[in-house]
Amino acid sequence: MKTAATLLSLVLLVSSSLQAVAVTPAAPPLAGPPGPLPPKAGGTPPPVPRVHAPPPPPPAGPGHEKGGKFSPPLSGLSAAQIADFIVGKEEFLNEETEESGLGPIFNDVSCVACHFEGGAGGGSRTLVTRFGRVINGVFDPLIELGGPLLQRKAIAPEYREVVPREANVVAHRLTTPLFGAGLIEAIPDAAIAAYAAKVKPDGIKGRAAIVSDPVSAMSRVGRFGWKAQHATLDGFAADAYLNEMGITSRYFSNENAPNGNQALLKLADKVLDPEDALSVGAQKSDLNLAADYMRLLAPVPRLPSTALMKTGEALFGQIGCAVCHVPSLKTGSSPIGALSSQTVNLYSDLLLHDMGALGDGIVQAPAMAQEMRTAPLWGLRLRSLYLHDGRASTVHLAILAHDGEARAVRDRYAKLPPASREALAAFLNSL
């Protein structure tokens, strides 16, 4: 793990981070598709949850965009906060190596390797794979077999993981964007819980995800990830360092053993844990610096409104989309002025909803198999695949795939005349 920034790279980063924000929805570079899933073997498939077929492979594209077209800091940061942003970005882009603790099993070598669409911190078409086993309706994350997350790569071929034969639920997860993440983090738990308690139309409920934050060890309202599985950016970063890159930290000090094989881990793991350690006198390790980058990253600005977009925005409210995709929430007070008492135009209630057939079948504390977090819709125009497993190649298909609590609203959408749908699309494409 290296955070040493040379003067030159600092200067380069400053100029690239601070340049004027002109967002062009140009075709983003694409990540290669994950390898094909090994066929599910053995056992009769459970009725619910289902194993989803892998989505069609995205077209091959050029390599990762490391710098980013859209990745400016929040406006109104102090010079010290800008410096944190720059050092954090360096960490977010930093490629881990075997010597710095990468692996022994991992999914990629840096945060930006997956988070790059539209700029450093964006989402991408990169999918990760989760698995588990349901017996008599009880979900087992198969920890002893290397679950619940598959690590696709390894520092040597003999350590590489496979989806174990015992798994009868396999689900893909698409990489989500991080633009504006600090604003989402700064929304008070109580604001999310208060909306959960409100009576909503169309039988829509929504439940705050209560999670244990690995950093503070406190019970918090989760808001990050497809299952709202984390409440803080440092907590998510610690999880990602371990589970995507194989870097242990003071929050997660045990390496993942290849498919749970501890003997193999002993052979493979040569770097002393925790790999992401605090240097003497420092208050932040690399994972905290990467969290700073996400925290200080600006949200994607909306396009200037046209009459068509305004019509679409009104429809979004009228047919009930806004019951879950709540247009804005407010942050509480934050030590970072730019995050304090701000309106966050995220288009999400950050609650878990029973999405019926759209659920991913994975039970992940605290979400049940069919429960998913309302996906924030800000920045939608920088995306190229939609829904948790990327099954939808267009926003239209993403809406039609809504089920469960969203069924009545989806049906209302399906009945809209073409001109209304066009207006709604124009609005969504302005976010």
Residues that bind ligand HEC (CB under 6 A): 107-108, 111, 113-115, 126, 128, 173-176, 178, 181, 204, 224-226, 233, 236-237, 240-241, 244-245, 290, 294, 319-321, 323-325, 353, 355, 358, 372, 374-375, 377, 386-388, 395, 398-399, 402, 405-406, 409, 413
3-state secondary structure the chain: CCCCCCHHHHHHHHHHHHCCCCCCCCCCCCCCCCCCCCCCCCCCCCCCCCCCCCCCCCCCCCCCCCCCCCCCECCCCCHHHHHHHHHHHHHHHCCCCCCCCCCCEECCCCCCCCCCCCCCCCCEEEEEEEEEEEECCEEECCHHHCCCECCCEECCHHHCCCCCCCCCEEEEEEECCCCCHHHHHCCCHHHHHHHHHCCCHHHCCCECEEEECCCCCCEEEECECCCCCECCHHHHHHHHHHHHHCCCECCCCCCCCHHHCHHHHHHHCCCCCCCECCCCCCCCCHHHHHHHHHHHECCCCCCCCCHHHHHHHHHHHHCCHHHHCCCCEECCCCCCHHHCCCEECCCCCCCEEECHHHCCCCCECCECCCEEECCCCCCHHHCCCECCCCCECCHHHHHHCCCHHHHHHHHHHHCCCHHHHHHHHHHHCCC
Q: Whose Cβ is closer to ligand HEC: residue 309's or residue 321's? A: 321
**Residues making up the chain, counted from first to last:** 431
Q: Whose Cβ is closer to ligand HEC: residue 69's or residue 325's? A: 325
Residue 94: CB minimum distance to ligand HEC, A: 9
Residue 219: CB minimum distance to ligand HEC, A: 19
Q: Whose Cβ is closer to ligand HEC: residue 135's or residue 397's? A: 397
Q: Whose Cβ is closer to ligand HEC: residue 111's or residue 338's? A: 111
Residue 264: CB minimum distance to ligand HEC, A: 21
Residue 63: CB minimum distance to ligand HEC, A: 14
Q: Whose Cβ is closer to ligand HEC: residue 344's or residue 409's? A: 409
Rounded Cα–Cα distance for residues 310 and 296 (Å): 30
Residue 304: CB minimum distance to ligand HEC, A: 21
Residue 136: CB minimum distance to ligand HEC, A: 26
Q: Whose Cβ is closer to ligand HEC: residue 64's or residue 133's? A: 64
Q: Whose Cβ is closer to ligand HEC: residue 269's or residue 276's? A: 276
Residue 405: CB minimum distance to ligand HEC, A: 4
Residue 176: CB minimum distance to ligand HEC, A: 3
Q: Whose Cβ is closer to ligand HEC: residue 165's or residue 393's? A: 393
